[in-house]
């Protein structure tokens, strides 16, 4: 009887869905925001940022903070892309190689990336990484800061 009870308990435990931890939840939020950016859903991308999020990227003015920082970053990204003849920018990422940790209220997520785009009709790509700090806001996660670091893109 004890063996049957043990077997039934084990089967029940194995059948229960695993609960994601805060680091996994934060990672899903970050990759969802990247997917929204790649799909051109800028409103969802903006909504993922805390107001005043700090952003560091490879084009001038290199750092954005304060009110509507995500919107100002996007405006500067578009100006830079137009000036350099860039279109179709997207950030592909390696979900299997990411690193994340969380204390339940904030999380640190590092994702290996490849920034792909077309520049004056040439397909370009640059490997890099994005690092995010996200904070819990109620049930949701909001980007407190992110940075992109990458190699000089080359023709694919």
Label residue 120 left, alpha or beta by phi (over 0 means left) and psi (-120 to 50 means alpha).
Answer: left
Beta bridge partners of 74: none
Q: Which residue has the tokens 């204390």?
A: 103
In a domain, 116, yes or no: yes
In a domain, 95, yes or no: yes
- Helix, strand or coil for residue 124? strand
In a domain, 148, yes or no: yes
Structural domain tally of the chain? Answer: 1
| Domain hosting residue 77, numbered range | 21-152
Q: Which residues of 117-143 are buried (b: 16+ CB within 10 A; e: fewer)?
A: bebeeeebebebbbebbbbbeeeebbb
In a domain, 16, yes or no: no
In a domain, 143, yes or no: yes
In a domain, 14, yes or no: no
pTM score: 0.84
Query: Average pLDDT by consecutive 10-residue portion of the chain (156 residues)?
Result: 42 40 90 94 95 96 97 97 96 92 96 97 97 94 97 95
In a domain, 104, yes or no: yes
CATH code assigned at 114: 3.10.450.50
């Amino acid at each position: 009887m004890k063996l049957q009870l043990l077997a039934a308990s084990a089967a029940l435990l194995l059948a229960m869905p695993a609960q994601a931890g805060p680091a996994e939840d934060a990672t899903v939020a970050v990759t969802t925001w990247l997917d929204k950016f790649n799909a051109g859903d800028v409103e969802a991308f903006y909504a993922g940022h805390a107001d005043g999020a700090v952003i560091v990227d490879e084009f001038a003015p290199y750092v954005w903070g304060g009110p509507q920082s995500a919107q100002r970053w996007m405006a500067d990204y578009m100006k830079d892309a137009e000036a350099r003849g860039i279109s179709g920018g997207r950030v592909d990422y390696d979900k299997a190689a990411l690193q994340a940790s969380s204390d339940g209220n904030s999380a640190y997520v590092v994702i290996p990336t490849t920034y792909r785009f077309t520049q004056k009709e040439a397909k370009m790509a640059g490997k890099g990484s994005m690092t995010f700090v996200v904070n819990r806001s109620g049930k949701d996660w909001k980007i407190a800061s992110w940075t992109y670091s990458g190699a000089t893109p080359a023709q694919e």
